[in-house]
Amino acid sequence: MARLVLHIGTKKTGSTLFQALLAQNRDRLSSTGWSYPDFLQKRNHAEFALIFQPRITETHRHYGLTSAAKITARRRELDGQLSKLVTSRSKWIITSEYFSSRLITDVQVAEAVGFLRNHFDEIEVVVALRRQEFVLPSVFSQKVKTGFPSVWSKEFCEKQRSAIDCERLVDRWARVVGRDSISAIPYLEAKKADPGWLIGRFAEASGIPIDESWTTPPRSDANRSLSAEGVAYLRLLDPHLPRWLPDGTSNMKLRRRAVKRLAELTPGPPFTPS
């Protein structure tokens, strides 16, 4: 029976760490009978979620999904890749926090799961959960870093409700895959600086035999939190560091370098709203 572990995030709970770990240790993973697909544009598997979000966003544009026709074409392409690569003995892991943050209705979740069930007999969902008062400032800081003109406000927090309402999120997925097919990882503030602890919880929840021989990826600069001072400076710089250049090409490489330097120049505790 073909088996799939589907890691759905949530936001700001170590998803990048898990993805880097799996990508960096693909050979070790393969030796245990597991596969971590590498035929997509990025290290994670965001496209498997984006093709079921009907509204085209900036993120879709980043992946070249600029129209409904392109989304349909990409869905067919991914379906073909799975048909070619998945066998009755396959054990795969697919991971993207967009499964939890972008698929916000039962219909969207059911479409994504139905697509995957065409290829996998058994689907187990792994979700990481973090307290919302820690998630929201981190999400705000990340929005500012990636060039979205966000202002800390009640309205900003309300817009994140679908992604951070843990009870509704788990209920939504349970209605589609069943509660017995969902495992949760606690993301604890006291443990977030300990990648070994997080990886251990991920291994327990997913059933992937990760051990001490696996190479632990370095901490990602992309997820380094800015201080309140850094956030304030970056918002002033925003007009000069657009996400997209006038010719339509991405400017994120330059922006990431600027954010990294800014984090070095404005040390301090992560942004926390008053």
Flag whether pLDDT at 242 surpasses 70.
Answer: yes
| Predicted TM-score (pTM) of this structure | 0.90
Mean pLDDT of the residues in the chain: 91
**Which pLDDT band holds residue 212 (cuts at 50, 70, 90)?**
confident
User: What value, to the nearest 5°, has the Cα angle with vertex 41 and ends 37 and 44?
Assistant: 55
206 vs 21: CA distance, rounded Å = 14
Task: Give the contacts of 68 (CB within 8 A, at least 6 positions apart).
Answer: 56
Q: What is the pLDDT of residue 40?
A: 72
271 vs 259: CA distance, rounded Å = 14
Q: What is the pLDDT of residue 87?
A: 96
pLDDT tens digit string along 106-158? Answer: 999 999 999 999 999 999 999 999 999 999 999 999 889 988 878 899 999 99
183 vs 204: CA distance, rounded Å = 9
Q: What is the pLDDT of residue 17?
A: 92
**Which pLDDT band holds residue 41 (cuts at 50, 70, 90)?**
low
| Number of Cβ within a 10 Å radius of residue 269 | 8
29's enclosing H/E stretch is helix 26-31
**Which pLDDT band holds residue 221 (cuts at 50, 70, 90)?**
low
Q: What is the pLDDT of residue 164?
A: 83
